[in-house]
Amino acid sequence: MSDFLAARSQMAMSLAFHIIFAAIGIGMPLLMVIAEALWLRTRDETYLTLAKRWAKGTAILFAVGAVSGTVLSFELGLLWPGFMRFAGPIIGMPFSLEGFAFFTEAIFLGIYLYGWKRVPAGAHLFAGIMTALSGAISGIFVVMANAWMNSPTGFRMENGQPVDIDPIAAMFNPNWFQQTLHMTIAAYLATGAAVAGVHAFLLLRHTNDRFHRHALGIALALMAVTALLQPISGDHSAKKVAETQPAKLAALEGQFQTERGAPLRIGGLPDPATETTRYALEIPGGLSFLAYGKFDAEVVGLDQFPPDERPNTVIVHLAFQIMVACGFALMGLGLLRALLAQPPVDELLAALLNAHERKSK
């Protein structure tokens, strides 16, 4: 294994581990704040217990995420010193601001954890809101740096060196809004779905437990809203990818040939040897319409790029298809939740859960 591949593999493993806790660090504080707000409004002690339980979980996962994030910061310098030497002066600002957001989150999380009965109820809820807001902003700053790598701005090259550096322009690069929006919604969606899954499993074992019922209701509500918003942000993001990164779009969609009226492929297995995507369900003109708003628009294929500059089409296409499938599955669950919220269906669900409990006994 070459040093380059080893560095990429180590970075990929670290990122795959950290992203789980980063997403939870964005989503869990919002859930605990919603639970506390419901307690303040209804004075139902179940919501108070739920807020405290979720706060403890948030603190533990926050600590793990902080450590794994620190590892990543070291890896940037150790594994990619040449890149950081070049990019550090340009895109270092969002990393610095992320540090401020992180410590703000840590401070208010401490107040939230230890402030029960020590600070007024309004101040305590405000601490929770600031924890949730700081967590989201922290993620936004990091994604801004990633967006810059997809659309580098804020400098110009002279004699092989970056000059006229504008850190603000680098932060607010052409891709910053689409990518931060998509990632933030994804964090809420993934966290809501994971929490809903845990409490749904426990509710099947304890069907009359009000704690798990309330928890499931809050988590499903968050999942339902974000699952419906995510395809909208994804479509907006895909249009920007088509504009700024045509090679990436071609790899995502298994589009080997440049053509007008390019089809949208559902599934399929790209074959770089024959430059075809086999077994895919194709919707004529679908990709052209989604990318450019016209069914006969031209979509740039991978044939316009040298082989050594093309993404790994098989991995990229399959990963993208799995992501889209997961998104639609969660959207379906969100719609199902809206349906089950209706009183007659809710009574039917309760009857089914009671029947399951009697059967398990």
Q: What is the pLDDT of residues 204-244, one digit of tens each?
A: 888 888 899 899 889 988 998 999 899 999 999 989 999 99
Pairing of strands 298-299, 259-260: antiparallel
**Residue-wise DSSP of 158-199:** ETTEEES--HHHHHT-TTHHHHHHHHHHHHHHHHHHHHHHHH
Q: What is the pLDDT of residues 64-79, one digit of tens each?
A: 988 998 899 899 889 9
- 28: nearest Cα among 241, 272, 195: 195
- The angle that helices 121-150 and 3-42 make with each other, rounded to 10 degrees, is 150
Q: Are residues 34 and 115 in the same domain?
A: yes
One domain for residues 140 and 184 = no
Asked if 22 and 58 sit in the same domain, the reply is yes
Alpha carbons 302 and 296: distance in angstroms, whole number: 18
CA pair distance 283, 297, nearest whole angstrom = 14
Q: What sign results for the dihedral spanned by CA atoms 93, 96, 102, 104? A: negative
- Give the whole-angstrom CA distance, residue 301 versus residue 288: 12
Calpha distance 80→58 (Å, rounded): 32
pLDDT the model gives residue 331: 86
For residue 321, tell me if it sits in a domain.
no
SS3 44: coil
320 domain residue, yes or no = no
Tell me which residue range forms the domain holding 212: 178-235+326-361
Identify whether 316 is part of a domain: no
Going by C-beta distance under 8 Å and a sequence separation of 6 or more, which residues neighbour residue 234?
182, 327
Residues 86 and 197 in one domain: no
Tell me how many domains the chain contains. 3
Which of residues 120, 147, 173 is at a domain's end?
Answer: 173
* Whole-angstrom distance, CA of residue 144 vs CA of residue 138: 10
CB 359 within 8 A of CB 248: no
CA angle 251, 255, 257 (to 5 degrees): 125
Cα–Cα–Cα angle for 93, 99, 102, nearest 5°? Answer: 140
User: Around Cβ 149, how many Cβ atoms within 10 Å?
Assistant: 12
The reply to whether 146 and 9 lie within a common domain is: yes
> What is the model's pLDDT at position 354?
64
Whether residues 223 and 348 fall in one domain: yes
Rounded CA-CA distance 309/359 in Å is 59
Asked if residue 165 belongs to a domain, the reply is yes
Q: Are residues 37 and 113 in the same domain?
A: yes
Both 149 and 75 in one domain: the answer is yes
Residue 281 is assigned to a structural domain of this protein: yes
- Residue 346 in any domain: the answer is yes
Cβ(265)–Cβ(281) below 8 Å: yes
Decide: residue 250, CB within 10 A, 0-12 exposed, 13-18 middle, 19+ buried: buried
> Is 264 inside a domain boundary?
yes
Same structural domain for residues 182 and 295? no
User: Averaged in consecutive runs of 10 residues, what is the pLDDT profile of the chain (361 residues)?
Assistant: 89 93 93 94 92 94 90 91 92 92 94 93 95 95 94 92 93 94 95 93 86 90 90 90 92 94 93 91 93 92 91 93 91 78 50 59 57
Domain identity same for 80 and 187: no
Identify the domain boundary among 173, 199, 225.
173
Same domain for 249 and 152: no
The shares of helix, strand and coil residues in the chain, as percent rounded to the nearest 5, are 75, 5, 15
Give the up-direction half-sphere exposure of residue 162: CA atoms within 13 A in the CB hemisphere.
17
Residues 303 and 197 occupy one common structural domain: no
Q: Which of 153, 173, 193 is the last residue before a domain boundary? A: 173
